[in-house]
Amino acid sequence: MSPSAVPISTANGHYFESDLNLSLVGLGVEYPPFLVGPEALETLANRYYPPSTALKKVLSINRFTGIETRAAVGDVNHPLVNQANAPSIKELNDLFRQEGVRLSVNACEKAIREWGGRLDDITHIVSTTCTNSANPGFDHFVVKQLGIRSSVEKILLHGIGCSGGMAAMRTAAHLALGSSYRGKPARVLVLACEISSVLVRSELDSINQDQETRVGVCLFSDCASAAILSNGIGEDEGPQPIYELLGWKHQIIDDTEDDLGFDVDPLGWKVVLTQRVPTLAAAAVSPCFQDLVNSVPSLHKDNKSPIAADFDWALHPGGSLIITGVEQAMNLTPEHLRASYEIYMKYGNSSSATVLSVLNKLRESDGKEWVVACAFGPGISLEMMVLRRRKEAPSPINGSGPNGANGVLHRDEAASNDDAVNGNAIPYTNGSTTTAEGPAIENGHATANGTSTEAVSTATNGVVANGASQVNGAAIGDGENGPLSSLPVEDLD
Q: Which amino acid is at 419?
A: D
Number of H helices, E strands in the chain: 11, 17
| Given 108, 162, 193, 374, the catalytic residue | 162
* 84 close to 209: Cβ distance less than 8 angstroms: no
Distance CA 164, CA 127 (A): 9
User: Cα(379)–Cα(161) distance, rounded to whole angstroms?
Assistant: 9
Sorted by sequence, the CB contacts under 8 Å of residue 432 that are 6+ apart come out as 37, 39
Measured at the alpha carbon of residue 120, what is the angle toward residues 185 and 195, in degrees to the nearest 5?
100
User: Given phi > 0 = left and psi -120 to 50 = alpha, else beta, which region is 234?
Assistant: left
162 is a catalytic site residue = yes
Give the span between the Cα atoms of 297 and 203, in whole angstroms.
47
Maximal C-alpha separation, the chain: 68
| Distance between CA atoms of residues 196 and 455, nearest Å | 27
Buried b (16+ CB within 10 A) or exposed e, 415-436: beeebbbeeebeebeeebbbbb
Q: How far apart are CA 229 and CA 122, in angstroms?
A: 10
Q: What is d(CA 171, CA 169) in angstroms, rounded to the nearest whole number?
A: 5
Distance, CA of 66 to CA of 87 (rounded, Å): 28
User: Do 261 and 388 form a contact (C-beta atoms < 8 A)?
Assistant: no
Can you list the alpha helix ranges (DSSP code H) found in 211-271?
A: none
| Residue 120 exposed, middle or buried by CB count within 10 Å (0-12, 13-18, 19+) | exposed
Length of the chain (residues): 493
Q: Which residues are designated catalytic?
A: 162
